[in-house]
Amino acid sequence: MNKAISRSDIIETLANKFHLEHKTSEKAIKSILKRMVTSLSSGNRIEIRKFGSFEIRERAGRLARNPKTGEKVSIPAQYSVHFKPGQPLREKINLYANQKEITPKK
């Protein structure tokens, strides 16, 4: 099973690769993530060339059923973050997936 990369893994990698103190790389990552959250919550789009883009999309409200009771439940419209990978990332993922014959989680 593949391991998820956490924020602390990224902080450690940044500190090791650029010979930074742990606190310095932690502040850098927190600053970047805070800026991304602020930008998205303001309705802006984030584009990172050769990686991908993030944007807010509205999910329409819908009518669903409670599986236990069968009762109809109204689910209100919601906003969610949509990530669209850039072409180099898509190509790398597809190359890896074809070599390893992996099946992504749904």
Cβ–Cβ < 8 Å for 84, 48: no
Helix (H, G, I), strand (E, B) or coil at 61: coil
> What is this structure's pTM?
0.76
**Is the confidence at residue 64, as pLDDT, over 90?**
yes
Cβ–Cβ < 8 Å for 74, 63: yes
Cβ–Cβ < 8 Å for 21, 36: no
CA–CA–CA angle 80, 85, 88 (5° rounding) = 170
Q: How far apart are CA 79 and CA 67, in angstroms?
A: 24
pLDDT digits (tens, 9 = 90+) for 2-18: 789 999 999 999 999 99
pLDDT digits (tens, 9 = 90+) for 34-43: 999 999 999 9
**Is the confidence at residue 1, as pLDDT, over 60?**
no
